[in-house]
Every structure is written in C-alpha cells, then in structure tokens.
Structure 1
Amino acid sequence: MTRDDLAGMLGEQTTACGPAREALIAGGTFVVWDNPVPAAQLAGIYRARLRITQKRGQQTLALAAAVDILSQAAEEPVRVGRIDAADMSWTFMLFLNASATAVMACAGVARTAPSAEPGSDAK
C-alpha cells in the first residue's frame, strides 16, 4: 500500500481521519499489518486503552467512536495500521477491512502534553 492509497482511504469515518490524513501527507510514517484480527477483540483492547488514556488525562481523538465501530463489526476481520506524525506529537491507529481497501475507523492519541491539539475525543 502506498502513502497516496492510504491517504485516499481516510475520509470522514471518524473525526480522527482528517488529522491522520494530514499527518500522513506531512511526512508521517505509516504501517499496515498483514494479519487480520476479529473486530470484537480489537474493541476490547481499545476500550481498555480508552479507559487508560482517560485516567491519565491523555488527549485522544475519536477513540470512543473507533471502539463503537469495532464493537458493531463483531467478528469481522480487521487489519490494523498506524500513522505517526512526523513531529511525533500524535499516533493514529487505523482499522481497515480484511483486504485493506477501506478504512473502517481511525483514532488518535496525543504523545505529548495535553495542550497539543488537532481536536478532542468525539464520535
């Protein structure tokens, strides 16, 4: 998958997709892993990560919405991807269909102090 392919797939699935696309276009690094995982399993993992980030006061973007989308997808196989902003201020997790031809959801987690913002967690 190319950078342009991935950028083209990042639409408005969640509010984190726009900032993730901007980070990718601005030179952020990205990876999409090969092995699909059941969506329900990912929902459980990212639900726990949501609780942890909330407890720490760490800024997130559309993490709750991504968990909801993964929960609804149940046992559907999902491929996971990641974009790291070039300045390392944000990491965006991508959830793609099994063939990696469409993004189902995207979530962002700030890697810096809570003042860094492309937005706030929203569905």
Structure 2
Amino acid sequence: MERKLVERLFVGADEASVAALAALRCGGSHVVWEGTTASESLALIYGRRLRHARRRGIETKNLACAVELLGRHQQLVRLGQIRATDSSWTFMLFLTEDGGRLIACTGVRRTHV
C-alpha cells in the first residue's frame, strides 16, 4: 500500500496513531500485508503480548485499547506495520478486511535498537 494511502488511514488522535503517523512522515518503513486474520485470534495474541509487556516493563502505546477493539470487531482484519527510522518503535496497524479503515493502532518500544 502506498505511503500516502497509509497516512490517510490515521483519523484518530490516540497516542499510538499520532506517533505512528509521525514515524511514517519522518521516513519510517511501512508494510500492509495481503491476507486477513480473525479479530478474535488477534485479540488473544495481543492480549498475551500486553501481559508480557507489563511483566517486563516494556513501554507500549495504546495496546490495551487495541486488544479491546479487536475483541469487539468480530470481523476479519488486515495487518500493517510501521517502523520508526531509528527502529526505536514498531507500530502495528489493524485494518478492516479491505484495508480502507484503521480499526486500531498500537506501538511497542523496541528494547534492542
């Protein structure tokens, strides 16, 4: 997906979306993968990641909210990712099946930069 199309997905003002958009506009890498995954599965996976991050003290942005939104979505989800140019943050994008709308965005600080 083209960079400009990814930028247009960000309409929310949550901390992760603002930071992901800034990373993208500063030259961060991005990808939106083909295929979809059930939102329920992603809610379980990212719920585990949330618990792991909390136990390890890993900084995240909007992860708890993303888990909640995925749990409520009940439809297929397309995934995307943005990496900050300095690799300090990785942002996951959870999109509608057609890639036309952002369901949730979360970020995790990378501990091994």
Tell me the TM-score normalized by structure 1: 0.87
Question: Gaps spanning 5+ residues in structure 2: where?
Answer: none
Please give the root-mean-square deviation of Cα atoms over the aligned residues, in Å: 1.2
- Offset at residue 14 of structure 1 (A): 3.6
SS in 1 for 2:31: strand
Residue-by-residue CA offset, 1:46-98 (whole Å, 9 max, x unaligned): 00000011111000000000000000012x00001110000101000000000
CA distance change for structure 1 residues 9 and 28 in 2, over 3 Å: closer, same or farther? same
- The alpha carbon displacement at 1:8 in A equals 1.1
Matched-pair identity in % = 41
| Structure 1 unaligned spans of 5+ | 114-123
Q: Name the structure with the higher helix share.
A: 2
Partners of 1:31 and 1:81 in 2: CA distance: 5
CA–CA distance in structure 2, aligned partners of residues 42 and 63 of structure 1: 12
The corresponding residue for 1:72 is 72
User: 2:100 — aligned with what?
Assistant: 101
After the TM superposition, list the runs of 4 or more consecutive aligned residues in structure 1 that deviate by more than 2 angstroms: none
**Shift in Å at residue 28 of structure 1?**
0.4
- Cα displacement (A) at 1:3: 0.5
- Secondary structure at 1:44's aligned position in 2? helix
Aligned residue for 1:29?
29
1:87 lines up with 2:86 in the alignment: yes
> How many corresponding residue pairs?
112
Secondary structure of residue in 2 paired with 1:88 = coil
- Distance, in Å, in 2 between the alignment partners of 1:91 and 1:24 is 11
Q: Distance in 1 between matches of 2:32 and 2:13?
A: 17
State the TM-score, normalized to the length of structure 2: 0.95
Say whether the 8 Å CA contact 1:16–1:62 is kept in structure 2. Answer: yes
Deviation at 1:13, TM superposition (A): 6.5
